[in-house]
C-alpha cells in the first residue's frame, strides 16, 4: 500500500508540472478563444533564452530571468500584433492552424539564435528523496517535485488573485465572456490580448525553467506541450481549475499505468496513454470536467 501511495503522490506531483504548461494554454484560450499550439514552443523558447543569456553573458539567475521575461513579453506582443490581430473573427480552426505555424517558427528561431545544443539548467534544487518523508513514511518523494508543485501552486494562486482582484483581471474576464460586449463598454481589447500573451509568456518561462531543470533544455521540451493537451481535454480548455485538476489526474494515471500496466505489455505506453485516457473520458463528457455544455442556437 505504501508503494501505491508513493506512486500516486509521485504522479500527482508530476501532474502539477503538466498543469504548469496547461495553464498557459488556458489563459490564452480564455481571453481570445485561440487554442495556442505554440505554447510548447514558447516554453522551449523561454528556457533556451534563459540558459542562452546565462551562458553567453554570464548572468546570474534574476538578470537572466528578467531578460528571458522581456523576450517572452516581446514575443507575446508581436504575436498578438502580427499573427492574431489580422485573424480576428476567423474560425477557431484557422486560429489553431496558425499557431501550429507559429510553433514551427518559434522553434526554428530559438535554435537559430541559441544553437541546437542541450543545455543543463541548474536551479539549485536537487532531484533527490526528501529524507524526513523517507524515514517517517518509507516513501520516496523527490524534493524537486515538491518544489515544482509549490511553484505551480503559488503561480496558480497569484493568477487567480490577479484575475479576481485587479482591474485588468476584471477586464480580462469580461473579454473572455464576450469580445463584442467588452469592446462596447470600452475595454481595450488589444491591450488585454497583449497582456494575456505576455502573462502566458511568463507562465511559459516558469514552466520552461522547471522542465528545463529536470530534463535539460533541449528541443524535446516542446513535446511537453503535447503532454499538456490531454490535460486540457480532461479539464476543459477554458478552466484554470480544470488545468490543475486535469494535470493531477493525468499525472497520477500516467504514473500508475507506468507501474501497473506498462511492465506486462513491455513498455512504451507513456507516449499515448494520456491521450487514450482523455479520449475515453471525452466520449463520456465531451465538454471536459469543467467545461460548459454547448447549446446550439439556431
Partner 1 sequence: MTRILGEPILSVDNISLAFGGVKALANVSFHVREHEILAIIGPNGAGKSSMLNVINGVYRPQVGEIRFRDRAWKRMVPYEAARLGIARTFQNIALFKGMSVLDNIMTGRNLKMRSGLIRQALYWGPNLREEIEHREKVEHIIDFLQIEHVRKTPVGRLPYGLQKRVELARALAAEPTLLLLDEPMAGMNVEEKQDMSRFVLDVNEEFGTTIVLIEHDMGVVMDISDRVVVLDYGRKIGDGTPDEIRANPEVIAAYLGVAH
Partner 2 sequence: MLYREAGQFKSSYAEDQALFPIRQDRYGMLVLLAIAFVGVPLFASDYWLTAILVPFLVFSLAALGLNILTGYAGQLSLGTAAFMAVGAFAAYNFELRVPGLPVLVSFVLAGLVAALVGIAFGLPSLRIRGFYLAVATLAAQFFIPWLLVKVSWFSNYSASGVITTQPIEILGFVFDSPTRKYLLVLAIVCVLALAAKNLVRSSIGRAWMAVRDMDVAAEVIGIRIVRAKLIAFAVSSFYCGIAGALYAYAYLGSVEPDGFNLDLSFRILFMIIIGGVGSILGSFLGAAFITVLPIFLDVLLTDGAHLFNLSLPAGVTSMAQLVVFGGLIIFFLIVEPHGLARLWQIAKEKLRLWPFPH
Q: Which residues bind partner 1 (CB under 8 A)?
A: 295-296, 298
Q: Are 269 and 67 in contact (CB under 8 A)?
A: no
- Select the binding partner of residue 97 from partner 2, partner 1, none (C-beta < 5 to 8 A, by kind): partner 2
How many residues make contact with partner 2 (CB under 8 A)?
47
Closest residue by Cα to residue 154 from 39, 10, 20: 20
Residue 298 touches partner 2, criterion: CB under 8 A: yes
Residues between 102 and 121 that touch partner 2 (CB under 8 A): 102-109, 111-112, 115-116
- Select the binding partner of residue 271 from partner 1, partner 2, none (C-beta < 5 to 8 A, by kind): partner 2
Residues between 40 and 69 that touch partner 2 (CB under 8 A): none
Residue 226 touches partner 2, criterion: CB under 8 A: yes
Query: What distance in Å separates the CA atoms of residue 215 and residue 221, rounded to the nearest whole number?
Result: 8
Q: Angle, nearest 10°, between helix axes 167-177 and 189-215? A: 100
Minimal distance, residue 83 CB to partner 1, in Å: 23
- Select the binding partner of residue 295 from partner 2, partner 1, none (C-beta < 5 to 8 A, by kind): partner 1
| Grid cell of 77 as nine digits | 506582443
Q: Are 87 and 98 in contact (CB under 8 A)?
A: yes
- Select the binding partner of residue 108 from partner 1, partner 2, none (C-beta < 5 to 8 A, by kind): partner 2
Q: Are 230 and 278 in contact (CB under 8 A)?
A: yes
Contacts of 35 (CB under 8 A, 6+ apart): 25, 29, 92, 95, 96, 99, 237
Per CB under 8 A, which region of 65-73, 91-99, 130-138, 202-210 contacts partner 2? 91-99
Q: Angle, nearest 10°, between helix axes 273-284 and 240-260? A: 120
Which CB atom, from 92 or from 271, has the smaller least distance to partner 1?
A: 92
Minimal distance, residue 287 CB to partner 2, in Å: 9
For 232, other C-beta atoms within 10 Å of its C-beta total 27
Query: What distance in Å separates the CA atoms of residue 113 and residue 56, rounded to the nearest whole number?
Result: 12
Residues of this chain that bind partner 2 (CB under 8 A): 35, 82-83, 86-87, 90, 92-94, 96-98, 100-109, 111-112, 115-116, 226, 229-230, 232-233, 237, 265-266, 268-269, 271-272, 275-276, 278-279, 282-283, 286, 296, 298
Amino acid at each position: 500500500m505504501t508503494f501505491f501511495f508513493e506512486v500516486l503522490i509521485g504522479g500527482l506531483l508530476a501532474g502539477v508540472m503538466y498543469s504548469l504548461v496547461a495553464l498557459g494554454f488556458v489563459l490564452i484560450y480564455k481571453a481570445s478563444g485561440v487554442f495556442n499550439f505554440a505554447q510548447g514552443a514558447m516554453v522551449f523558447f523561454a528556457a533556451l533564452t534563459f540558459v542562452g543569456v546565462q551562458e553567453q553573458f554570464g548572468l546570474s539567475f534574476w538578470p537572466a530571468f528578467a531578460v528571458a521575461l522581456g523576450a517572452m513579453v516581446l514575443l507575446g506582443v508581436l504575436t498578438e500584433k502580427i499573427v492574431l490581430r489580422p485573424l480576428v473573427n476567423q474560425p477557431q480552426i484557422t486560429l489553431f492552424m496558425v499557431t501550429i505555424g507559429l510553433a514551427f517558427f518559434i522553434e526554428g528561431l530559438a535554435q537559430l539564435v541559441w544553437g541546437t545544443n542541450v543545455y543543463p539548467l541548474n536551479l539549485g534544487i536537487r532531484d533527490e528523496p526528501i529524507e524526513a518523508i523517507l524515514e517517517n513514511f518509507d516513501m520516496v518523494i523527490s524534493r524537486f517535485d515538491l518544489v515544482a508543485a509549490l511553484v505551480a501552486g503559488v503561480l496558480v494562486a497569484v493568477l487567480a488573485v490577479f484575475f479576481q482582484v485587479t482591474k485588468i483581471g476584471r477586464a480580462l474576464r469580461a473579454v473572455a465572456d464576450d469580445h463584442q460586449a467588452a469592446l462596447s463598454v470600452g475595454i481595450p481589447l488589444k491591450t488585454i490580448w497583449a497582456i494575456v500573451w505576455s502573462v502566458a509568456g511568463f507562465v511559459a518561462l516558469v514552466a520552461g525553467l522547471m522542465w528545463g531543470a529536470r530534463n535539460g533544455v533541449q528541443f524535446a521540451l516542446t513535446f511537453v506541450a503535447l503532454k499538456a493537451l490531454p490535460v486540457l481535454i480532461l479539464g476543459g480548455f477554458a478552466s484554470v481549475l480544470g488545468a490543475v485538476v486535469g494535470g493531477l489526474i493525468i499525472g497520477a494515471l500516467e504514473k500508475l499505468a507506468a507501474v501497473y500496466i506498462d511492465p506486462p505489455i513491455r513498455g512504451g505506453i507513456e507516449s499515448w496513454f494520456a491521450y487514450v485516457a482523455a479520449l475515453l473520458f471525452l466520449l463520456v463528457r465531451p465538454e471536459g470536467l469543467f467545461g460548459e455544455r454547448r447549446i446550439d442556437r439556431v
